[in-house]
Amino acid sequence: MTRSSRLVLMVLLLLAGSASAARAFDVKEARVVFLKGVQAYHGGRYDEAVALDEQILAAGFYSPALYYNLGNACFKTRHTGKALVNYLRARRLAPRDSDLRANLLFTRTIVENYAPWKDGSVFGPVADLLSGEELQWLAFFFFALTGTFLVVALYAGLRRKRIVLVTGLLAIVSAYLAGAVIFKVLQRSGEAVCAARVDARFEPSQEATVYFKVPEGTEVKILRYKELWCKIERSDGKTGWVPAASMERI
């Protein structure tokens, strides 16, 4: 085989590979792949299950059950960090799923030196109970209700005190829900999980002094990026630089 023909073959293979990777699924195909992943998991072929679930995600589909199954398959392949990431992603979509909560809790117990983040925000209870989309809908509904009630009440000639009272209450609820939406968006903006044990250093350099160890599965916040490094914050407030590739954003 000549050099030019080898080059042509490589280009063709590359194009074929990228074409298959970028091939768009429809929903029916995504469901079929999901069920294949379930069968692989049933058969103890956890690596295959991980690959199939990730294939669906790569095609642009997602669901809480998909993240949940992917978390389970990662757990079985002893990738605690990846399992946690997927459980946390699933929790964003289905925060009230009891199976998910149980698995998340159990996985956290096997993370070395696990320390939970303490959240004292007034929005915390609602943000934990509802998914981001549910919160958005709820906030929109109350906002619309507030405006509609005000207009209708004004045109209907209701008593001014009654209008102020009801509109005020509705406005407070709307504002709280809008705050919860913003809180949720800000909260998840920097969340990440350590996918593989790594050293946190004082500077973004391999030569820098190691400050602390970050075990696999540690939940951190990414504060900023600098080239191939990112600055993380631990739940106890300690910060350090780690390779960005070692962190998986939720």
- Which of 50, 52, 55, 66 is in the footprint of other proteins by CB under 8 A? 66
Instruction: Give how many residues touch other proteins by CB under 8 A.
Output: 38
Site for other proteins in 20-59 (CB under 8 A): 27, 30-31, 34-35, 38, 41, 56
Cβ 208 to other proteins shortest distance, Å: 37
99 binds other proteins (CB under 8 A): yes
Separation of alpha carbons 94 and 96, rounded Å:
6
- Which of 36, 48, 54, 62 is in the footprint of other proteins by CB under 8 A? 62
Cβ 203 to other proteins shortest distance, Å: 36
The answer for residues whose C-beta is within 8 angstroms of residue 212's C-beta and 6 or more apart is 199, 200, 234, 238, 240
- Which of 50, 52, 55, 75 is in the footprint of other proteins by CB under 8 A? 75
Separation of alpha carbons 125 and 127, rounded Å:
6
90: helix, strand or coil: helix
Residue among 57, 21, 16 at smallest CA distance from 37: 57
Q: What number of CA atoms fall less than 13 Å from residue 212's CA on the CB side?
A: 14
Site mask, other proteins, residues 155-184, x = CB under 8 A? x-----------------------------
65 binds other proteins (CB under 8 A): yes
Residue ranges with strand state E in 144-204: 191-194, 198-201
With the C-alpha atoms ordered 82, 85, 89, 90, is the resulting torsion angle positive or negative? positive
Nearer CB in complex with other proteins: 30/180? 30
* Spacing of C-alpha 226 from chain mean position: 22
- Which of 16, 21, 102, 129 is in the footprint of other proteins by CB under 8 A? 102
Binding part of the chain for other proteins, among 2-10, 131-139, 187-195, 229-237 by CB under 8 A, reads 131-139
246 binds other proteins (CB under 8 A): no
Kindly give the interhelix angle for 80-93 and 64-76, rounded to the nearest 10 degrees.
170
- Which of 132, 179, 190, 243 is in the footprint of other proteins by CB under 8 A? 132
Nearer CB in complex with other proteins: 6/160? 160
The answer for residues whose C-beta is within 8 angstroms of residue 183's C-beta and 6 or more apart is 121, 123, 124, 127
Please name every residue paired with 213 in a beta bridge, in sequence order, or none if there are none: 199
Cβ 115 to other proteins shortest distance, Å: 20
Cβ 173 to other proteins shortest distance, Å: 17
**Token reading at 48:** 């295959």
Site residues (vs other proteins, CB under 8 A): 27, 30-31, 34-35, 38, 41, 56, 60-66, 68-69, 72-73, 75, 99, 102-103, 106-107, 132-133, 136-137, 140, 143-144, 147-148, 150-151, 154-155
